Every structure is written in structure tokens, then in C-alpha cells.
Amino acid sequence: MPNDNEIIDNIANKEYEFGFVTDIEMDILPAGLNESTIRYISEKKKEPEWLLNWRLKGYQSFQKQKLPEWQNFELPAIDFQKISYYAAPRNKKKYNSLDEVDPELLATFAKLGIPLSEQKALTGVAVDAVFDSISIATTYKDKLKELGIIFCSFGEAVQEHPELVQKYVGSVVPHSDNIFAALNSAVFSDGSFVYIPKGVRCPMELSTYFRINTENTGQFERTLIIADEGSYVSYLEGCTAPMRDENQLHAAVVELIALENAEIKYSTVQNWYPGDKDGKGGIYNFVTKRGICKGANAKISWTQVETGSAITWKYPSVILQGDNSTGEFYSVAVTRNRQIADTGTKMHHIGRNTRSRIISKGISAGEGNNSYRGLVQIGPKADLARNFTQCDSLLIGDRCGAHTFPYIESKNNTATVEHEATTSKIGEDQIFYLNQRGIDSEKAVALIINGYAKEVLNQLPMEFAVEAQKLLSITLEGSVG
């Protein structure tokens, strides 16, 4: 009979499932970062002058900035010159239909459970797949077009809707925001672009799938979502990477803009390679995600299930500018082995009667370390603003850690800010209780975890909630029994 510690060790050492490499011919830019790297990328993508200039400004900001020092973990040295900033599958012309896409690539996404052919695609989900630097396929494009919805790769949007891109890119996350955002602005390769016209409710989930394949590359995608007045969209992002001994950098930027009465729901299931059990390899996931509720009654909701990456460092945030606007953040972050997650959110209340809700569920196993870091900021004009924060930590075993850093800055005394925090352990008693009903320890842990994370999982679109539940189970399951 396995004892608790064995169960926990098994859980902590479970292997990464998506660690395979796709053998495909790639155009890879040699490692290194300077102005000509940026010009090369911009030229490859046939970008207009203004965008090149914007990139170059981003590069200047990057050069001026230092790596942050306030974090609660040791940031490994990152040699930005050792990274290749562009990798794209060879045989590159623009794909007009999926038939032209390399079958090997399609097979890769199929293996990841992301069928790209429209017939096979999850019903009601339009998918954009990004392989290393390049967007491979966007499904259901025509159907969306009828409604005036634009869902395409960032590169395509630059070509076909330059006025929208120019108006909004960098408007929420300026290129000078932080060192990784600056780097992204300089070298971003692709990503997704969404525009929902006035009054349109997007009838299906929009989804992007990111895959890092090539060695020593970074992935720097940029996502821009604009929901015009009175519109609604739900967007989901998923990601995996092969197992490699070296660390790989992922520094994405996501900008959301919700105009008056618009709503954006953005969900992430992040399962980048976390490194092996001794902490070798894995993705550094340093991402800047921010949305703005620009108009009155707008709503932005972030939901994230973070199970992967060696280091996750991200704070999806909402600027609540419009009166009566709402920001939400729902998060489950799992760390095991030597994984580190420092994640949370910032809610900037600017408009009157703005509301925010933060539900954060950290799960630590093995020697994993999980930090919640949140900022609730109430501006002088944010009369009657309200925030509720609940921040729970669950520990599995006694070598892991959980930390919370909630910051509150209020400049308006009509505001209400509530904060609740709990820390609990999966108890032997809970496992035994389930054992006594015929459920083995592995399933018991999965049940307990999913129960604990339920409030967050419930926020995900149906199809993905099931996936995420399974992902949590496999992530934490040992081979007990």
C-alpha cells in the first residue's frame, strides 16, 4: 500500500505528455538581437514603415530597461543574444486553404488534440494555430466574416486592417511598459487579432493554440482583441512545447479593448513544458496581459489555468476606465517539481461604480512555489468602487510553498475592498475518506483538486472546462494503485 509521501512523490514527478518534437524544415534566424534582427523580421512580414518604427522604439525601451528585482524567486540569468527571434516552417507562402499546410504540421496539432480541419474542429470553436513564430491556420474564417468579425493572425491584420492595428496596438500595453513587453514589441513574430463589430455577439469560441517547437527560439506573440460597443466575445488560448533541456523564453503581450457595453472573456489553459523533476529545462513564461474597459458598462474577465512552465510570471490586469465597468480574474495555478509561479492581477479602478472580483487558487506540490501577487488600485474618481478578492492556497506535501502579496491602494473612501485568504493541505483524512468509498488515492487527489478549483473551472467554456479538469488531473496524478 503506498503511503501518502509516495503518492505525493508520484504526483510531483509525473511526466510531461506533450514533449515531442516535430521534424519539419524551418527557416530559423541565427541567434542574436540587434536592430538588423528587427528589420529582418519586419521585412519578412512585409510590414509598413510605421510598424517598423514602432518596433524600433520598442527595442530602444528594451535596451534602457533592467530585469526586475522585486520578484519572490531567483530569476535565472537570461542571455538575450542566445535566442533566435524568428523561426517559421519552410515552404512558406501564404496558405490559402488547409490542404496546403504541411501534413506533418497538421499531424502535430492533431496529436495535441487541436484538429485544424474545419469538419473535425470542435463544434463551435474557431481555431488559430501558431507554430513557433507563424500562424498556421485560422478555421471558420468565412463564417465569421459574414458577421463582420475579424479573426486572423496578427500579421494578416497588419496587411488587411492596418488602421485598426495602428490605432490600438500598444494602446493598453505600451512598448515601454516593462522589459519583456518592450522585447515583445521589438521582435514579436505573430499572434492573433480579433475585432468584433458593434452589437455583434460572436457565436463561437475563438481559440488560439500556441506551440513552441524549434530549439533555442523564443516565442513572442502578440494578441490584440477589440470588442466594439455592445459586442461580446469569448476567447481561449492554449499552449504546449517539446521537452528540452534548455530553458526557452516565452514573452507574449495580450491587449484587450472593450468599448461601451462590450464584454470580453479571455481564458488561458497554459501547459508549456515545466522542466524535469530536477528543474532542468522548461519554459520561462513572462507574459504581459492587460485589458481596458474603455466605455461604460464594459466587462473584461480573465480566466487562467496554469499548469506548465518552469517559471510563470504574469498578471492579467484590467483598467476599469468606463463607469460601471467590471473586471474579473479567475486563476488556478499549479506548481510541482521545481516550478515557480508568481501570478495574480491588477485591477485599476478609475471610473465610478466600477467593480472587480479576484478568485485565485494556487496549488503547490513537490518543491513547487506559488505566489499570488495582486494590486487593487482605487483612483480618486472611482466613487463606490468595489473589489472582492479571495485567494486560496492548497499544499500537497510539505516541501512546497505558497505566498500571497496583496496590495491595496485606495484614494477614495467610498470604495469597498474585501480580501479573504486561506491556506489548506490535502489531508490524509480526505484521501482516506474517499479510499473508504472505493476511490483510489490517485483519483481521490484529482477529485479534491478539481473540487478546490471548481469556482475557476466553472468560468471556462464547457468544452474546455472538461479539458482543463483532465489536465489538472494528469498534471497532479501519480501512478498509484
Number of residues that bind another protein (CB under 8 A): 26
Instruction: Please select the residue that binds another protein; options are 27, 102, 440, 463, rule is CB under 8 A.
Output: 440
Between 229 and 455, CB nearer to another protein: 455
Q: Find the length of the chain.
A: 481
Report if residue 198 touches another protein, rule: CB under 8 A: no
Between 41 and 444, CB nearer to another protein: 444
Report if residue 430 touches another protein, rule: CB under 8 A: yes
Q: Which of 129, 331, 154 is nearest to 239 (CA)?
A: 129
Instruction: Please select the residue that binds another protein; options are 56, 421, 439, 474, rule is CB under 8 A.
Output: 439
- CA 360 vs CA 32, 156, 405, 471: distances in Å: 38, 35, 12, 18
Report if residue 421 touches another protein, rule: CB under 8 A: no
Report if residue 435 touches another protein, rule: CB under 8 A: yes
- Report which secondary-structure segment, H or E, holds 249: strand 247-250
Between 85 and 452, CB nearer to another protein: 452
All residues at 6 or more sequence positions from 226 whose CB lies less than 8 Å from its CB, including other chains: 164, 168, 194, 195, 196, 257, 259
Cβ 433 to another protein, closest distance in Å? 4
All residues at 6 or more sequence positions from 12 whose CB lies less than 8 Å from its CB, including other chains: 277, 336, 337, 365, 366, 367, 368, 396, 397, 478
Report if residue 6 touches another protein, rule: CB under 8 A: no
Between 8 and 172, CB nearer to another protein: 8
Span from 106-114, 300-308, 312-320, 432-440 in contact with another protein (CB under 8 A): 432-440
Instruction: Please select the residue that binds another protein; options are 113, 427, 462, 479, rule is CB under 8 A.
Output: 427
Q: How many helices (H) and strands (E) does the chain have?
A: 12, 23
Q: Which of 352, 294, 345, 360 is nearest to 323 (CA)?
A: 352
Q: What angle do CA 152, 155, 161 make, to 5 degrees?
A: 70
- The set of cell numbers assigned to 383 is 466613487
Report if residue 151 touches another protein, rule: CB under 8 A: no
Report if residue 398 touches another protein, rule: CB under 8 A: no
Query: How many angstroms separate the CA atoms of 445 and 434, rounded?
Result: 9
Look at the block and give the residue holding cell 467610498: 414
Report if residue 333 touches another protein, rule: CB under 8 A: no
Cβ 425 to another protein, closest distance in Å? 13
Alpha helices in 175-294 (DSSP H): 179-187
- The set of cell numbers assigned to 179 is 522589459
**Sign of the C-alpha dihedral, residues 470, 206, 266, 239?**
positive
Is the separation of the CB atoms in 322 and 298 below 8 Å? yes
Between 74 and 429, CB nearer to another protein: 429
Cβ 93 to another protein, closest distance in Å? 50
Instruction: Please select the residue that binds another protein; options are 53, 64, 432, 479, rule is CB under 8 A.
Output: 432
Between 199 and 427, CB nearer to another protein: 427
Burial class (CB in 10 A: 0-12, 13-18, 19+), 322: buried
Cβ 332 to another protein, closest distance in Å? 11
Between 124 and 451, CB nearer to another protein: 451
DSSP-based three-state secondary structure for 432: helix
Report if residue 3 touches another protein, rule: CB under 8 A: yes
For residue 456, the one-letter residue type is V
Instruction: Please select the residue that binds another protein; options are 36, 199, 433, 470, rule is CB under 8 A.
Output: 433
| Cα Rg of the chain (Å, integer) | 22
Is the separation of the CB atoms in 238 and 300 below 8 Å? no
Span from 50-58, 121-129, 143-151, 429-437 in contact with another protein (CB under 8 A): 429-437
Span from 103-111, 144-152, 291-299, 436-444 in contact with another protein (CB under 8 A): 436-444
Span from 15-23, 271-279, 373-381, 427-435 in contact with another protein (CB under 8 A): 427-435
Report if residue 93 touches another protein, rule: CB under 8 A: no
Is the separation of the CB atoms in 372 and 360 below 8 Å? yes
Span from 24-32, 107-115, 142-150, 435-443 in contact with another protein (CB under 8 A): 435-443
> What x-and-dash track marks residues 447-476 binding another protein by CB under 8 A?
xx-xxxxxx---------------------
Site residues, another protein (CB under 8 A): 1, 3-4, 427-430, 432-441, 443, 447-448, 450-455
